[in-house]
Chain A
Amino acid sequence: MKINDLSLYSRYAFRDLTRSYSKILSIIITLLISLFILSAILTIEDSLENELNENSKVLLGGDLEIDYNNKEGDRSLINQVESFSTVSQMVEFSTMISTTKNKNNKTSFTRIKAVDQNYPLYGEVIYEPIGSLENLNKIDNTIIVNENIFKNLELKINDIVKVQNKEFKVIGTVKVLPDIGGAFVFGDFALTGKKTLDNLELNTLGSFLNYEYKIRFDGDENKDNKINKIVNIFKNDSKVKIRYPENSAGGIKRIIDNFSQFLSLVSISAMLIAGIGIANTLLSFINQKNSSIAVQKSIGINSVNIKTIYYLQLFIILFFISLIAYGLSFLLVPIVDKYISDGFGLNIEASFSLTNLSIVFLVGLLVIIIFSIPTVNSIDQIKASSLFRNVFQSLQFKYSKKSIILSLFLLAILIILFAYRSSLPYYSLIYFASFFVCLAMFFYVSRLIILLLRNNLTNLGISSKIAVKNITQSKSITPITVMSLGLGMTLLLTLAFVGSNFKREIAKSIPDIAPDYFFLGIQNNQKDLFQKVINETDEDAVIEIVPIVSAGIVKINGIDPNTYISNSNDSYWVIMNDRRVSWVDTIPKDNPILEGSWWDTSQPNKLQISLDSKVAKDFGVNIGDKFTLRIYGREIEGEVVNLRLVNYQDLSINFAMLLNPQFAKNIPHEYLSTIKFKKADNFNEVNFLDQFPSVSIIKISDYLSKVTDVLNKVFIAVSIISAVTVIIGLVVISSAIIVQGKIKTFQNLIFKILGFSKKEIIISSIIEFIISFLSIILFSTVFSVIASKFIIENIFQLNWLFEFEIFLYVIIGVGLTTLALIILTNLKYLSPKVYPLVRNE
């Protein structure tokens, strides 16, 4: 086609569109909703990642970080760095804070940052009152706690709290810290001055002590030169890890990535359901244009050009809707910003991205073309000769071999586009496969309903007869209802089942298997006393106590472990920092061995390692491979002798690495314990801390309630977004009813003439709805049970149960909404005026 032809046809397309867009309103609405969701996901993801990237220095706390782990840094080396840059020393540790009132004292497990006067090098600490941050290093034994501790411990400014038997004065509260790249996101935290450290006993493993030196480059000298200088300074100090801003927010980025990829799958589902409606509405639109198209053909415009006009109309709609949807998504950013800025201290701002706009447009284009090919192709069926005979046959979807192949090809592009953007392409593909299997199944379900009802028309009440007739007639909307609502229901039910099972499993683990407390940092010489004290408190308490030492993996089979996996791998945490490792004589009962054998006791002088099987798989490590561990500065080579299945979710003591006790027991170590009390009320945290000031207590229920709180929010957000698929389904259904409207009106008129009451007609639409809806429920339940069971049992490795309550909520909610919608839409056709219809016929 020539360019000036195209401009002519574009003009026609534009004109047609401006004059008849109301007839394709449902296409516009469903496209707008689903593209809006997609845009919102892309825009928010983009803004978050931009913020993380722009603030990577803030998140790290410097241009560079020298991490000395649990050892104080080598002062002579640090001084060399200080000669050309600013250094801020920071020590992080976990410990207990207790109040010191006369009675009802409370405690809180807290991560404390001891900072110097240079803190923060980048970003901003939001705290109150003015000057308190500076005072940390001016006045001894002062502390600033986060708002949560302040509230939970019912503190006031100038109250005295105890940290490991030392008294501290609370001189302020802190809301947001800039350097949250680490683990500060969910826990409680506090700030104190650098000198404080000398007063505390922090050399325990339980305090997760960490010495960091944040570095800011000053002056103009080339940044890379400085980095090289620093790398050179520390190259012989094996305890040092140098961290760069690029990696500062790896964990958060991964969460955002996975979450947004999941949501974009939901949005593409919404798009595909919208596609069903688009095909249907478009067919009726073209049917209405039947005679105009015949006229165009009689004038000598060929079929291809007429089809071009229709594709152009879709193209124009899509163009504007993409722009609007993308533009609207910017309105969501401030809302999301409000939500997350409290917790994370991030300030996200929407920024225009041509790539994202193109993705939105491209996805829309693919969906539109895929679903409009058979519809627009029906234009071929229109004959100009109809104009002589005054009869216009109603059009059907037209599938040719060529168009089917084209559709499949475009669909493949769409799927690849999504799978490619995903970090878990495998799951995306499974998702698409399941989606299309469900789509096909629902299509056959609708055929089956029609088939079954067609053959069983006898012995029915009059309303039922009408309902059955409506379902089985050739223009029935049953297939569209069943497919669009069925898919939406399946998705919603699946997520509801996954969410409720997940929540139940986590809530359940509190009373059942999980212990009440974790105790960290029990010293070697305190072990017996600890057990005695616990037994005196509650003789029935179940104590599990294991030795721990800190070990870093320096080499795997003689080479840097970083060459085995990237920092985006699920198991990167194993080599990111030193890990706590333990040793036991017998196989832990909840850690079955998958490969290899338990300790070889004939070789007590050889270090043997039992490894988490998932970690082994991620690293590509097998039995017989050699790990070089650094324990207390000594490098020891050990061999992987077996792989264990570790389930971290049971909240008992789980280790990625276990060592053979014969070898390990002589290493200086401390203990980690979990306790499950019978008489939990007897245990007084404050009294316990008086005896064991350096031990940290983590109350599992507090911790879990924090986790479930977060999960709950995520679950609600996900459900709301997924409900979009149902909403789209409903728009599709109501537009299908409207499309059917003319027939409906005529039919209702005949019923009226035949003497049916309105009530009987309404009852018949309710019966029609119930028949479709029951089969939708039946099949979407089956599909969602299969899908959610797979997800819960195979991906999360939890127990799956049929959550009847959630099931009821979902089906009643969706059912009533759909019914209301169907009745409302049908009401329009319920009072046909006899006169105009008779005149027109």
Chain B
Amino acid sequence: MSKLLKLSNVNLNYTIDSKSINILKNISFDVDYKETISVVGESGSGKTSLIMLIGGLEKVSSGNIFFRDSELSKMNEDEISEIRRKNIGIVFQSFYLIPNYTALENVSLSLEINKFDNPKSKAKEILDRFGLSNRFNNFPSQLSGGEQQRVAIARSVAMKPEIILADEPTGNLDSENTHKISNLLFNYIEDENASLIMVTHDNNLANLTKRKITIKDGVISENK
């Protein structure tokens, strides 16, 4: 069986003041279907940059990223959008809900553009599962931080992606909410057979994944 995701010799350079800085160096690893991975490392080590590359939101400077059998690095903007729309759910540290959409509308958005039938009722189902059944019509400004993140996660998993990318999903939350959210997230992944790559500073959270990748100064220092 082929891999869900394959990175080989990925490099990422940023240019500042015409000087090129090597942020990620020769990164290579695979992700299996249904695998959960946490990415840890010091601040500035390049974790977010890695997630961005995998999500197709940033282009590699050299090396290859394969999503299933298609090479992301060779695709154009629209083709990557297409892959992302169907297969990749992203969760941000700062939630990022669309402010003038209700919770329900935020979630059904990704269902609608993926042409699911009955997007509204499916979105309700998911929000229900995330304990938000009486918050359907709240706008983000009318939700607590924890609720916002639950809506954000609901949005990113709604269309049943193959993989979920999360960058410190609990970074802006207190420990109680962190616990609640991680439970929801991991249960969902378990139920839906999705994969997860999650950046986190939280060791408890990192320990919930099958594998842990540690990055130091742009290099994978540990992968177990």
User: Would B96 and A295 count as touching, CB distance under 8 A?
Assistant: yes
Q: A301-B81, A302-B77 are in contact. Are A16 and B51 (CB under 8 A)?
A: no
Q: How large, as a class, is the contact surface on chain B?
A: 20 to 34
Given B82, B83, B85, B97, which contacts A295 in the complex, CB threshold below 8 Å?
B97
Please give me the residue from chain A that is nearest to B53 by CB atom: A385
Stretch from B19-27, B60-68, B108-116, B175-183 that touches the partner: B108-116
User: Would A385 and B52 count as touching, CB distance under 8 A?
Assistant: yes
Is B167 on the interface with A (CB-CB < 8 A)? Answer: yes
A139 to B150, CA, bound (A): 100
Chain A proximity of B22: nearest CB distance (Å): 18
User: Would B52 and A300 count as touching, CB distance under 8 A?
Assistant: no
User: Would A385 and B81 count as touching, CB distance under 8 A?
Assistant: no
B10-54 contacts to A (CB < 8 Å): 48, 51-52
A280-295 contacts to B (CB < 8 Å): 291-292, 294-295
User: Would B52 and A298 count as touching, CB distance under 8 A?
Assistant: no
User: Would B57 and A300 count as touching, CB distance under 8 A?
Assistant: no
B-contact bits for A653-665, CB 8 A (1 contact / 0 none):
0000000000000
User: Would A302 and B90 count as touching, CB distance under 8 A?
Assistant: no
A-contact bits for B110-154, CB 8 A (1 contact / 0 none):
101101000000000000000000000000000000000000000
Given B82, B93, B98, which contacts A300 in the complex, CB threshold below 8 Å?
B82
Is B78 on the interface with A (CB-CB < 8 A)? Answer: yes
Chain B residues contacting A384 (CB-CB under 8 Å) are: 55, 57
Is A426 on the interface with B (CB-CB < 8 A)? Answer: no
A600 to B167, CA, bound (A): 102
Q: How large, as a class, is the contact surface on chain A?
A: 20 to 34
A291 to B96, CA, bound (A): 7
Most interface-central of B48, B113, B167 (chain A CB within 10 A): B113
Chain A residues contacting B109 (CB-CB under 8 Å) are: 296, 299
A-contact bits for B66-101, CB 8 A (1 contact / 0 none):
000000000001100111111010101110111111
Is A605 on the interface with B (CB-CB < 8 A)? Answer: no
Is B222 on the interface with A (CB-CB < 8 A)? Answer: no
A600 to B155, CA, bound (A): 98
Chain A residues contacting B112 (CB-CB under 8 Å) are: 8
Q: A16-B100, A19-B100, A388-B48 are in contact. Are A298 and B77 (CB under 8 A)?
A: no
Q: A298-B90, A299-B84, A301-B113 are in contact. Are A388 and B77 (CB under 8 A)?
A: no
Is B202 on the interface with A (CB-CB < 8 A)? Answer: no
User: Would B100 and A20 count as touching, CB distance under 8 A?
Assistant: yes
Chain A proximity of B119: nearest CB distance (Å): 10
Chain A residues contacting B84 (CB-CB under 8 Å) are: 298-300
A1-37 contacts to B (CB < 8 Å): 4, 8, 15-16, 19-20
Is B58 on the interface with A (CB-CB < 8 A)? Answer: yes
Q: A295-B97, A295-B98 are in contact. Are A302 and B113 (CB under 8 A)?
A: no
B-contact bits for A151-178, CB 8 A (1 contact / 0 none):
0000000000000000000000000000
Please give me the residue from chain B that is nearest to A18 by CB atom: B100
A302 to B56, CA, bound (A): 13
Is A699 on the interface with B (CB-CB < 8 A)? Answer: no
Given B52, B98, B105, which contacts A388 in the complex, CB threshold below 8 Å?
B52
Most interface-central of B88, B100, B115 (chain A CB within 10 A): B100
Q: Which residues of B contact A (CB under 8 A)?
A: 48, 51-52, 55, 57-58, 77-78, 81-86, 88, 90, 92-94, 96-101, 105, 109-110, 112-113, 115, 155, 167
Top 10 closest pairs, chain A to chain B, by CB:
A300-B85, A300-B84, A302-B81, A385-B57, A292-B98, A19-B100, A300-B81, A384-B57, A388-B48, A299-B110
Provide a sorted-by-A list of 22 A–B residue pairs whose CB atoms are within 8 angstroms.
A4-B115, A8-B112, A291-B96, A295-B96, A298-B84, A298-B92, A299-B155, A300-B81, A300-B82, A300-B83, A300-B86, A300-B110, A301-B113, A302-B77, A302-B81, A304-B78, A383-B57, A385-B52, A387-B90, A387-B92, A387-B96, A389-B48
Q: Which residues of A contact B (CB under 8 A)?
A: 4, 8, 15-16, 19-20, 291-292, 294-304, 383-385, 387-390
